[in-house]
Amino acid sequence: MDAILSLSGEPEPEAARIVEDGLNAFNDAYVGYADRAPLTVIARAADTGAILGGIVAHTSLGLLFVDLVYLPDTLRGQDLGSRMMAMVEDEARRRGCRAGVVYTISFQAPGFYQRLGWEVFGEVPCDPPGTSRVFLSKSFG
């Protein structure tokens, strides 16, 4: 079979689905099961129910992957972020996860994760100069 390669800066949902489905099928065949599942914690306004922030994560093959974490400035410092992370970690443990992985940027929240017991295992310089992507993990065992 021949293939023609193309490069695009625009998202192509069909291409992403084909790649994801193909990789998932490969992994499932190798390990003999499929356990990937989304995991989300939502912070809502108490009066209106409007979404204010939250955590988007997923679990797969014994690991929690924390993809996005956000709370607006007005909700920070009230223990909500810690409570959201505890909810995600508890659910990951319930799903059988042994560990979790998250990355942040040096100007975002590495200290927040470290206060919650996450440990830096890598750092990669990025832009703007002087900043880096910080990779952290936490064992649930």
Residue 24 in domain:
yes
Task: State how far the alpha carbon of 134 is from the alpha carbons of 75, 86, 108, 116, 119, in Å.
Answer: 23, 20, 10, 15, 10
Q: Given a cut of 90, is residue 84 above it in pLDDT? A: yes
Residue 5 in domain:
no
pLDDT digits (tens, 9 = 90+) for 56-81: 999 999 999 999 999 999 999 999 99
Domain residues for the domain of 20 are 13-139
Please give the pLDDT value at position 41.
97
Q: How many domains does the chain have?
A: 1
Q: What is the pTM of this model?
A: 0.90
pLDDT digits (tens, 9 = 90+) for 8-62: 888 889 988 998 999 999 999 999 999 999 999 999 999 999 999 999 999 999 9
- Cα separation of 58 and 109, whole Å? 20
